[in-house]
Structure 1
């Protein structure tokens, strides 16, 4: 399994790092011995990893060298509206634009991807996605695995024809049977017999992964979408709907050198293999306490959102409406805290959804009236909602004003209408 290249800044001055990225087509080897045309950031599939620091500004000059508009969104980022990647605020072919990312938020595993409305599903499917890691030097005192033992793993599925070409058909989940880890099908990754921090990102359009290691090996989940949990959670499996992230620490010293340990999905079977190829010195640890997550202020408003499917039109909807960029669906005063109740209406068509509001990070209050599991008890930005389920979320809206969207991150759904607009105002 390859590791995506780490993007290097073009310049570093004061409190700002500047990067340059071009979206362009490339032909890469995905299936062994063949070449596949993909859409890339900087020629890489998946895109290069951008490593940022808490409190240090990043400016990325994006150039669009494709033949249609793009809009770059850092998923999980708290960004000014002009840099959030609004779906209709597209960058035309041949043009460039600066996106500014303040990184005034907790360290976390984020990711960036295209968000151009009606095309976002196909663009991401064809490769426009990469990791965006916000790091905090203060975390060094925790002595979690770091450096070459801190591994981002972007998972997704794909469909190929007999000429190794990617085949995109909307909502074609059942045919996307090739599982990719960092752009390679069912790869292996050599590890030492020591602890590793594995950062999993689900970059699939529709597939939910339910992962386990070996014969249900216990691992320590240390983080969810928006950074460290308050304490590690001992888990034998972990679930990621599209867009979600989970970080786990795996101690490979429990396996003999020479062992092959498989990462498996409950539906798709083997995803990748870890080869314990050598011994290794290890001074890392998983402490009993990881972080402090402040309590949210009391909520001043409550709202309800219903995710549904209209059989007559073939559209996925929020509160019975299809996305219209000219319509503000929800107006919110900056700095206020709200509770949102999100329900997946199974009466029309029982399919899974999830829910991702831009700009904010939220706490999960309950799922079907029950407290969240330990792995969902931290700060999140994406939440799965199975048919008939209801989840309640609490978030404080800010610090920026402007227009943002909330949508199903199963982006084949959002690209056909399961998205709405909120406006944050003073």
Structure 2
């Protein structure tokens, strides 16, 4: 690992030792409370507990700081159907722990980065300038983008240089996010802070009268590890010590809400941690969307599970709670994540959650099939796809543009209970089944990231296009992809 001790205190350890320690922890029942899918740990990461140099973060009282909402970035200029934005990646000192300034990696000096809010059919051109002193590349996660703007891991922007990324936004409304994707460094860079929301709106969504404006709240969740001086500590494959949960960059914050409906857009920006979230005392909420936008119909859920990179949107009706209520969002493993403080509503609530949300595109006939095996090699300390580590000179899948294929994903866990997930660039997909069973409502919509627990098999279907070029697919537990768990497809 690259060490940048003035920003992130880095330590190294043998991957196999970490995985073995985690597997032993799992064998002792450390993750007995795991939620479905049954084969996958819901919240823990038993393949990744480590024995790092002990550090102790200063205790922060829960719910003592307010959760901010990331600022929406305004275009620098607009011409016709194109909006032009500018973002500089740079180091900055920000207050994460109360009273302490922590140096992190940022987009535009913000932690998390600024939100880009765009509309379907309007092109966004984003000029990224690198003021970090190290190579970086921006990837729009969930974006249907030309290859030159996708953020291929080897297409880094050198220090002091800039690159324009063009996002056509020819896709349905959805909660996307952008983050660093420099190969071998994406884990450290995203952990260091290089991530932000990218929200797409469209007329179909506008017509539904879902909660909007001040009642539409993006929430970026992640875990972190701090030392006694408040410095952010990074160690590859360290799950056990990343025990501070951040919501929009703040530890266990509170957030004032009115007694009315809110749309909460969650993204799991952790490197390894899976969240299984629950609101209050088993409160039922309406899940309305996943990675690729609105579901066909709202799903009534009491908990929702998110592996790294996944997004879930829920609508919560806080009028169900008495004014003055303190409603805690909890994770099955980490405990309290944040708190919603219910106050009076100053204006009437005219929002709603309709019975029908969207029409999910029909699945075209598949003309090709592929098998993807995700595995860990403990002898050589390697994370693999189909037995291989990433090689930029090798094309692992050549696919004709417009082709629809079924991919069968298998987590060959072996003796190590290592969970994975899977994210292909360029395309969005549909989950056909998990271990032979139809997808749950949360996975029945349009997806771009899917969990594949130890021993599990997941089938997905995607149409590859509309652009040609090289694109990556990889595990989005990004400590894994930084360790080579990535492959390359070429759309021709």
Q: What SS class does the counterpart of residue 125 from structure 1 fall into? A: helix
* TM-score, normalisation: structure 1: 0.99
Residue from 344, 347, 355 that aligns with 1:288: 355
Matching residue of 1:90: 156
Contact map agreement 1:309 1:348 (CA 8 A) in 2: no
Shift of 1:391: 0.3
Asked if residue 116 in structure 1 is aligned to residue 182 in structure 2, the reply is yes
1:167-220 Cα shifts (integer Å, max 9, x gaps): 000010110000000000000000000000000000000000000000110000
Q: Which runs of no fewer than 5 residues in structure 1 stay unpaired?
A: none
Higher RCO structure, 1 or 2 (CA under 8 Å, sep 6+): 2
Q: Which of structure 1's runs of 4+ aligned residues deviate more than 6 A?
A: none
Distance 1:391 1:362 in 2: 12
Distance 1:74 1:279 in 2: 36
Distance 1:66 1:255 in 2: 46
Matching residue of 1:310: 377
Contact map agreement 1:260 1:276 (CA 8 A) in 2: yes
1:310-332 Cα shifts (integer Å, max 9, x gaps): 11111110000000011000000
Matching residue of 1:274: 340
Matching residue of 1:366: 433
Distance 1:140 1:4 in 2: 21
- 1:22-421 aligned at under 5 Å gives the runs 22-280=88-346, 281-421=348-488
Shift of 1:155: 0.3
Shift of 1:277: 1.7
Shift of 1:348: 4.4
Contact map agreement 1:188 1:275 (CA 8 A) in 2: yes
Matching residue of 2:25: none
Q: What SS class does the counterpart of residue 233 from structure 1 fall into? A: strand
Asked if residue 4 in structure 1 is aligned to residue 70 in structure 2, the reply is yes
Shift of 1:349: 2.0
Shift of 1:279: 2.9
Contact map agreement 1:70 1:115 (CA 8 A) in 2: yes
1:26-69 Cα shifts (integer Å, max 9, x gaps): 00000000010000000000000000100100000100001110
Distance 2:228 2:344 in 1: 38
1:308-365 Cα shifts (integer Å, max 9, x gaps): 0011111110000000011000000000100000001111422110000000000000
Shift of 1:380: 0.1
Q: What SS class does the counterpart of residue 305 from structure 2 fall into? A: strand
Shift of 1:138: 3.0
Shift of 1:137: 2.9
Q: What SS class does the counterpart of residue 164 from structure 1 fall into? A: coil
Q: What SS class does the counterpart of residue 327 from structure 2 fall into? A: strand
Structure having the higher strand fraction is 1
**Number of residue pairs the alignment of both structures matches:** 425
Distance 1:217 1:28 in 2: 34
Distance 2:452 2:204 in 1: 34
Distance 1:85 1:264 in 2: 34
Matching residue of 2:34: none
Q: What SS class does the counterpart of residue 364 from structure 1 fall into? A: strand
* TM-score, normalisation: structure 2: 0.86
Distance 1:305 1:263 in 2: 35
Distance 1:350 1:332 in 2: 32
Distance 1:83 1:139 in 2: 26
1:55-108 Cα shifts (integer Å, max 9, x gaps): 100000100001110010000000000000000110000001100000000100
Contact map agreement 1:51 1:133 (CA 8 A) in 2: yes
